[in-house]
Structure 1
Amino acid sequence: MLVKAYAKINLSLDVIGKREDGYHLLRMIMQTIDLYDVLRIYKAQNGIHVSCNKNYVPCDSRNLAYKAAELFINRYDIKNGVNIRIVKNIPTSAGLAGGSADAAAVLKAMKYIYAPGIHDSELLELALKIGADVPYCIIGGTALCEGIGELVTPLAPFKDHILILVKPSFGVSTKEVYRSLDIHKIIKHPDTKLLIDAVSRNRLALLSKNMKNVLENVTLKDHFILREIKEQLIDFGALGAMMSGSGPSIFAFFDDMLKAQNCYDKMKTKYRETFITRTI
């Protein structure tokens, strides 16, 4: 079967504490966008076979799609295997949950192929074992995510808003960003209540003006070019610009397609991985 694995952006990202095991406690608004990997997933006689159109993407147990298949097969004692072909369009190490989206797509496909009777709650339980973003990627849409990411509360849809997404030529390690974050030095936190209200009333300008990602305190300090990208997007008419996740991708909302297209044309000459897309 063919499955689309959609990327996400953060409309907000707040770190509100830290557990004894080292995991950070989060409160963030996540949003699916119309940028996706395409996965072809079908039965095999045995084993897990992953291939990808990008040679820099690992196809062994380091790949989250592989981990998802392995976890599902072991959990439900599946006797057969699976073939997974990934056509990668979402930039990697970008703060867009590309690997998590692939893992979520595999879990949903494996359920359809091998165990249609299992409850969605079991799928979410498996998803969390793979990564904190995977439960959200199972659900998708617009959602408030809390805890370490596993508590997902759907919000009013915030769809059909135009955005430009720019991913520079380098990647960022999420683990390193969180390791470098000093939560006691976070001065300004997102106004999550205000942002949820902006989402519920479909107020793009209000949301764009108040978006906040506290991980920018780390990533933008280490990579000054990201500040320049944000400024350039604003100069081209964006209502607001922000880093997604731990970065380094920067996105910006536009209320006018002509402005967005002009921005895309200009940014594409500087950054190969520039996209014009929408929230869905």
Structure 2
Amino acid sequence: MNEISLKALAKINLGLDVVRRREDGYHEVRMIMQTIHLYDRLEIKKTGSADITMETNLSFLPTNENNLVYKAAKLLKDEFEIKEGVHVNLKKHIPVAAGMAGGSTDAAAVLYGMNRMFGLGLSKKELMERGVKIGADVPYCLMRGTALAEGIGEDLSALPPMVKCPVLIAKPSVNVSTKFVYENLKLDDTTVHPDIDALVADIKAQDLKKIAADMGNVLETVTIPNYPVIADIKQHMLEHGAINAMMSGSGPTVFGLFEKEETAQEAFTAMKQSGLAKQVYLTSIYNNARI
């Protein structure tokens, strides 16, 4: 196999709680991760040289060791002493720095693709063990589907598939630093934590309305006061028929869940016309675990 074409899917958080800050500075989390059918496209080709090269449709993205795609390729090249080089053509559609694991899912696709192309024989579990060295979300992006993530996000438990429904995605023009959000998160007796266990039960019961009602993201307590447009987008989605809307990850992307495709289509049009968001997509829950 000399080349491979892959879809790298985005994720949303149906629930995100931060349990505590550890002594090493990392935060312990409990999150419900969910794949959606919004994706980047990667074409990976073997080359005659020994180098890792990449190109992308976004001029501001690095194409060197500062990109997780490059780091993923280098990790496997170094470990398995792969002499051939690879060239990665990355077409980005997932919003960048948006709380949707865009970089992590691209890295996951490279690990998967190189494992196939070079016949490394690594299992999904073995790829996930390597993925965590690149980023905490990479193991989940290899696993996909519906999952409970604990620890720093790398301790994953598969859940029954989420109810399929339309998902509206809206990213405002602001950029949010994940580091800033976590550094400014206050965890004390007044912190309102989402009920992750209730969400797990709702998913197992396949009850979309209850899932929507129990969604929560503790990081909104930091991001929304600093970027009020996130609250505006949430409110706009609710006014246009979303059964709930929430920020994904550390933001600034907001997603809304809908019961009917027709309502979601109308909300999509209204969001585009509102000027609140720079990027707007209408997609759906995606439960196929294959890359």
In structure 1, what is the Cα distance between the partners aligned to 2:178 and 2:47?
33
Q: From 17, 31, 41, give the equivalent of 2:20.
A: 17
Which residues of structure 1 form unaligned runs of 5+?
none
The residue identity in structure 2 corresponding to 1:279 is I
Asked if 1:138 is matched to 2:142, the reply is yes
185 and 64 in structure 1: CA distance in 2 versus 1, 3 angstrom threshold: farther
Shift of residue 78 of structure 1?
A: 1.1
Q: What SS does structure 2 have at the residue aligned with 1:91? A: coil
Asked if 1:128 is matched to 2:136, the reply is no
Partner of 1:276: 282
Asked if 1:82 is matched to 2:86, the reply is yes
The residue identity in structure 2 corresponding to 1:134 is V
Asked if 1:28 is matched to 2:31, the reply is yes
Shift of residue 175 of structure 1?
A: 1.4
The residue identity in structure 1 corresponding to 2:88 is I
Partner of 1:183: 187
Partner of 2:55: 51
The residue identity in structure 1 corresponding to 2:55 is S
Shift of residue 169 of structure 1?
A: 0.9
In structure 2, what is the Cα distance between the partners aligned to 1:159 and 1:69?
34
In structure 2, what is the Cα distance between the partners aligned to 1:273 and 1:182?
30
Paired-residue identity, % = 44
Partner of 1:222: 226
Shift of residue 152 of structure 1?
A: 0.9
Identify which range, 270-279 or 238-247, moves more after superposition: 270-279
Q: From 29, 32, 40, give the equivalent of 1:37.
A: 40
- Deviation sequence 1:227-270 (CA, Å, 0-9, x none): 11111110111100100000000001110111111110010122
Shift of residue 42 of structure 1?
A: 1.4
Shift of residue 192 of structure 1?
A: 1.1
In structure 2, what is the Cα distance between the partners aligned to 1:234 and 1:120?
38
- Deviation sequence 1:111-157 (CA, Å, 0-9, x none): 11114322333211210011010000010000000100111111000
In structure 1, what is the Cα distance between the partners aligned to 2:120 and 2:103?
24
Q: Please say if residues 186 and 214 of structure 1, whose CA atoms lie closer than 8 Å, have aligned partners that are also in contact.
A: no
Q: Please say if residues 65 and 71 of structure 2, whose CA atoms lie closer than 8 Å, have aligned partners that are also in contact.
A: yes
- Deviation sequence 1:153-172 (CA, Å, 0-9, x none): 11000152111110001221
In structure 2, what is the Cα distance between the partners aligned to 1:144 and 1:176?
24
Q: Please say if residues 159 and 278 of structure 1, whose CA atoms lie closer than 8 Å, have aligned partners that are also in contact.
A: no
Q: What SS does structure 1 have at the residue aligned with 2:206? A: coil
Q: What SS does structure 1 have at the residue aligned with 2:252? A: coil
Q: What SS does structure 2 have at the residue aligned with 1:195? A: helix
TM-score, scaled to structure 2: 0.94
Provide the aligned length of Structure 1 versus Structure 2. 280
The residue identity in structure 2 corresponding to 1:51 is E
Q: What SS does structure 2 have at the residue aligned with 1:165? A: strand
RMSD of the alignment, in Å? 1.1
In structure 2, what is the Cα distance between the partners aligned to 1:264 and 1:161?
14
In structure 2, what is the Cα distance between the partners aligned to 1:264 and 1:57?
27
Asked if 1:242 is matched to 2:246, the reply is yes
Q: Please say if residues 31 and 142 of structure 1, whose CA atoms lie closer than 8 Å, have aligned partners that are also in contact.
A: yes
Q: Please say if residues 12 and 29 of structure 1, whose CA atoms lie closer than 8 Å, have aligned partners that are also in contact.
A: yes
